[in-house]
Chains A and B, each alone.
Chain A
Amino acid sequence: MKKVYGAYLCTGCGIGAVLDVDGLKDAASDAGIAMKDHACLCGAEGRAFIEKDIADQGVNTIVVCGCSPRVMQQEFNFGEQTITVRGNLREHVAWTGSLKDDGSVDDFLQEMATDYVRMAVTRAQKTELPAPYKLETISKKILVMGGGIAGLTAAQEAAKAGYEVTLVEKEAQLGGKALGWRKMFPTAYPYADLENPSIQNMVAEVQANGKITVKTGTEVARIGGAPGQFNVTFKTAGAASEWDAPAKVTADQQDLINKGELEDPNKGLQKYTTANPDGEMFGAVVLATGWTPADVSQYEHLGHGKIANVVTNAEFEKLAKNGKVPARVAFVQSPGGKEDDKDFPYCNSVTSMVALKQANYVVEDNPVDGKAYILYQHMRTPGNAEFFYKSMQAKDGVFMTKAAVTKVTAGGGALLVDVEDNLLGENLQLEVDMVVLAAGMIPTTAGANTINLAYRQGPAFLDLDLFDGYADSHFVCFPYETRRTGIYNCGGVRKAETMDETIDDATGAALKAIQCIESANRGVAVHPRSGDQTYPDFFFSRCTQCKRCTEECPFGALDDDEKGTPLPNPTRCRRCGTCMGACPERIINFADYSIDMIGSMVKSIEVPDDDEEKLRVAVFVCENDAYPAIDMSGMHRNKMNRLVRFIPVRCLGSVNMVWIKDAMSSGMDGALLLGCKYGDDYQCHFVKGSEIASRRMENIGETLGSLGLEPERCGVREIAITDYDKLPAIIDEFVEEIVAMGPNPFKGY
């Protein structure tokens, strides 16, 4: 596209009242694009004003300096073949300041606005219309791993939407844990009675569905490739294969292996980058490999594994499925005695329901003398599960109490259960035939690779310890995202779920798999930059194989070759730009976001070299939360420090340290990053961006130190979107520190 520029200044919403309009227009012209002004650009007349230039002069690259880019997006969208760049003069400038007391324009405010105009013009000059990345071939087939309720549902629902599915199950038959159920929880109002298992119907429907290929007794050896073209190797369950997913080998470990000092953990395996010519192609993956029953023998006072007839809930279900259960049964929900009222680990709210269900077996099988005792600390029957709890409370022979179970012993052919702190007043010893422990459901992802990826960053999801081993990456807001694009979880790998929840969860996972495939097909990003057509472009001839991009990508999008040159997989990429921020050679760029663009914007900021009152601080602002917070601060008409210049970035992870150097070498006096909270409860939309950026800033601080500059000239602040009223003080504090240090001594050189 040959760019034809037009720049427009909106003087409405108070902009024209506090700024020198002609001065701003001159600044745009000096920067290379002539600028016109209008009293209300977002109105019909204002848009027509711009549209006329589009029609008459073929303007296709439009600079709009006015309100925040977060508003009036539709109003300034002039079609797919045009680019609109916004300069934020309203929220970031006009609404944060005023005229001087004598009615004249405040030169500090004017300089701020002028810099935003220059930066917008520069951005327009450096940006390009993106061309989406299209795969040459794409598979729209979906792989579902795991043939229990979650996997069966995901397969069936994806097929109903018209997609081909392959369902793999390592056991000889489909159905998973539900095959062993005698009854299942109520699924419809009034939620009072147990239902007969529907698992056989679900299996039969899947088997009858022509769009679903079922592979039982089969496992996934490895998944290579990327969304739209995952290359999947299957193998007989339990067998070893040369295509098994290789373990992660760090660069240091590889050195040792090469020197013969360390045994290669992947000996005999195909290299992770080798595509299996016999592999099957898939567009996306649903992981539904479920859970395993927890081992509860560690709770010695409860006697599992030592005392006969102390069983887990899973073992009890098996007994109940195969025959009559004993008449007197105690169900123990919490293992902590008097000290701890938590349930067994990995229970969620499922095991309370299981105990209620199994208590029903006791009274059903023993109509005359059945006695089920449910000993709980907190009955966890949320939402509509409460109705089943209620209906069981009304059952003859079912006794429930809050209680601390302190000991289980065998004696006189029965089991004795010591119960304290209960609702009946005194300590009890119950005599029962069997004790059932409410063991939890451990996600298969907690102990094993499970997903078996042939990726540079290794075969498993990362950092699952933050999520108790559940396959999650962003609890609460992005429920389906994992750290591996195109792979969506459901069922027991996500949390201990009831069947109802699992069905919703699996249906949702099927949707995400479909959405990922369609996004790959359109050449656009998935969540959270959904629809973004840009992707990182590598200028390989200058790559030094430093591997930083490969190692830092939060989503494992980059593989590498023997030499360490990155092998990009654009459909794995979430477009955060962490690779761009990592690259010391500055060879990774996006069409509308590049090292040169932001660097040039920084350099377009005018730095007075002889005025100690007019220091300058470049503030790189995460556009997800920190930027909206600055907007909101402006909405509140909070004053903003006029020495700072805000530069929006995709994620702090994308901030390349060369920009900091650009800022400091152009005489600016400090540089600050504003981004999301990091750590165990990170809020970074791209998981690692703000954390990585903080580390880089520490390093650059040290570099500055070696040049004789104070390391504290570079800082990072974590900002929540709701911190808008605190923001001015946070900025002021940083700027005051810089002011105290004095001007950048290299200013003017």
Chain B
Amino acid sequence: MSNTAGNGAVLVVGGGISGLTAALEAAEVGNDVFLVEKNAYFGGRVAQLNQYFPKLCPPTCGLEINFKRIKDNRRIRTYTLTTVKSVSGGPGNFEVQLETAPRYINANCTACGDCAQACGEEIADPFNFGMNTTKAVYLPHEMAFPRRYVLAKEACSAASLDAIKAACKYNAVDLDMQPQTFTLKVSSIIWSTGWNPYDPAKITNLNFSSSKAIVTNMMMERLAAANGPTKGKILRPGDGKEPASFAFVQCAGSRDENHLQHCSYICCMATFKQISYIRAQYPDAKIYVFYIDLRTPGKYEHFREKFMADANTTFIKGKVADIVAERDGGVTVTAENAITGAKVHQKVDLCVLATGMEPALGEQGKALNVAMDGNGFVVSDAAKGMLSAGCAKAAVDVYTSGQASTAAALKAIQIGR
């Protein structure tokens, strides 16, 4: 397979669970696939999750089998730290310009870790939303695929860079690495660019930046994960307190005229899942959930039922009006109970914002002339050779992403035939 494998080749943009699925499903039929990912590792948001609902199983298990499938399949070529710069042509004969940012660590890397030992600087760990620091030369996370270090060169002193280079026995540190541009010829493009957590700072009444006791649900995933900043112990960022009470603020930025208008699909289930994390560590903690509707349909109702029965968990139908930082490090959440009409002021030690999904392609998609709807989701249009999958297409859960990605793989294959 070469870079000019145009006939039937599929470009998949975004290597989270949707992109991995679309790429593998197409390749296992027999098509050539290029899978590009802007991060230094594959797995996307799913890699950051502690557990999947409703089975409470580790997402890395599902990623591992997908990575194994990639390693076993010679039809897939993978690129990390790579973004699309331009797209020309049309269905059957796209020409796509891409750029790979310098990793400063080449393919000689064995992930032995000697470089990190030699590195003096630390950076905020992006994988854990900056809740801890990591060495400036680092494995993005321990299950990272490809298992290769990455260097934040700009964070290092010249002396440190020299030490890092000297520490590597395998000549894997390349400080002169430059951005590489290259062109791919493909028949179709699948956008599986996923989502970002909606920026909580934009929801001004929730005062996210006023207190470390306010975290997002994705931060909560990292706090609960054994490979997270607290080794899996749920502690309040900042002072490390063991919280005795929690609030969940549903629809933080979703279903909101001023923010994301869509429902972000997963946040209700994510909250129930996170209640299970809390219960495993703090059997008596008080939990308050402020919601508009509990959207846990179908199979997920069994899961909800289990936690609705919890005597120390209170569900309040009502949208949160504001959150105020308290002097003891906690916060007070204010809402109106829509059923009783009563104003609720609830003081808690830790407040979790169930922030929604914002489509990640955003401005970049506009620049590339990718068709997007009024919410920024990518419109799947087989006639134009442009497909979308997973949360690039609409806010969905992992299971539905699997369906949409498998569907996108077939639509892509049809174009090459």
Contacts and interface: CB of A to CB of B under 8 A. Distances in A.
B262 A387 contact: yes
Contact of A624 (B65, B71, B143, B373): B65
A378 B293 contact: yes
A43 B395 CA distance: 43
Contact of B261 (A12, A13, A386): A386
Given A475-B299, A510-B410, A501 B403 contact: yes
A477 interface: yes
A518 B29 contact: yes
B263 A683 contact: no
Interface residues of A, number: 89
Interface string B70-108: 011100000000000000000000000000000000001
Contacts of B410: 157, 161, 507-508, 510-511, 514
Contacts of B25: 508, 511-512, 515
B394 interface: yes
B203 interface: no
B346 to A, nearest CB: 20
B170 A40 contact: yes
A107 B148 CA distance: 32
Given A161-B413, A383-B396, A387-B261, A476 B298 contact: no
Contact of A504 (B55, B112, B225, B404): B404
A528 B65 contact: yes
Question: Interface centre among B143, B225, B406, by most A CB within 10 Å?
Answer: B406
For this complex, into which size category does the number of interface residues on chain B fall? Answer: 35 or more
Interface stretch (B56-64, B157-165, B213-221, B234-242): B56-64
Interface stretch (A175-183, A225-233, A296-304, A717-725): A717-725
B403 A505 contact: yes
Given A387-B261, A511-B410, A725 B297 contact: no
B402 A530 contact: no
Contact of A378 (B72, B295, B399): B295
Contacts of A378: 293-296
B142 interface: yes
A518 B28 CA distance: 9
Contacts of B295: 349, 378, 380-382
A162 interface: yes
Contacts of B30: 518, 522
Question: Interface centre among A72, A346, A380, by most B CB within 10 Å?
Answer: A380
B339 A479 contact: no
B29 A476 contact: no
A278 interface: no
Interface in A505-534: 505-512, 514-515, 518-519, 522, 526-528, 530-531
A287 interface: no
Given A12-B169, A381-B263, A421-B339, A348 B28 contact: no
Nearest to B412: A511
Interface in A128-180: 157, 160-162
A439 to B, nearest CB: 14
Contacts of A722: 58, 60-61, 225-227
Contact of B72 (A526, A530, A677): A530
A558 interface: no
B338 interface: yes
Contacts of B299: 348, 467-468, 470, 475, 495
B228 to A, nearest CB: 11
Interface in B389-417: 394-396, 398-400, 402-407, 409-411, 413-414, 417
Question: Interface centre among B52, B71, B297, B417, by most A CB within 10 Å?
Answer: B297
B297 A349 contact: yes
B399 A476 contact: yes
B142 A476 contact: no
Main secondary structure of the interface of B (DSSP, over half): loop
A343 interface: yes
A212 B78 CA distance: 37
Contact of B61 (A342, A387, A506, A625): A625
Main secondary structure of the interface of A (DSSP, over half): loop
A468 B298 CA distance: 10
B315 to A, nearest CB: 9
Contact of A479 (B72, B402, B414): B402
Given A13-B112, A385-B263, A635 B414 contact: no
Contact of A632 (B142, B296, B305, B407): B142
A341 to B, nearest CB: 8
A614 B213 CA distance: 52
A475 to B, nearest CB: 7
Contact of B57 (A67, A519, A720): A720
A348 B170 contact: no
B27 to A, nearest CB: 9
B173 to A, nearest CB: 14
Contacts of B296: 378
Given A476-B57, A624-B64, A162 B417 contact: yes
B399 A475 contact: yes
Contacts of B69: 528, 530-531
Contacts of A628: 64, 143
Contacts of A531: 28, 69, 72-73
B73 A721 contact: no
Interface in A24-52: 39-40, 42-43
A385 B400 CA distance: 15
Contact of A380 (B62, B297, B341, B374): B297
B255 interface: yes
Nearest to A44: B108
9 contacts: A188-B373, A189-B373, A342-B305, A349-B295, A381-B295, A386-B263, A480-B406, A505-B407, A721-B60
Given A43-B171, A383-B264, A384-B262, 15 more contacts: A40-B110, A67-B110, A161-B417, A348-B297, A384-B375, A384-B394, A386-B263, A477-B61, A507-B407, A508-B25, A508-B407, A511-B29, A515-B29, A530-B72, A632-B143
Interface of B: 24-25, 28-30, 52, 55-58, 60-62, 64-65, 68-69, 71-73, 108, 110-112, 142-143, 147, 169-171, 225-227, 255, 261-265, 293-299, 301, 305, 317, 338-339, 341, 373-375, 377, 379, 394-396, 398-400, 402-407, 409-411, 413-414, 417
> Closest 6 interchain pairs by CB?
A508-B406, A348-B298, A507-B407, A189-B373, A511-B410, A479-B402
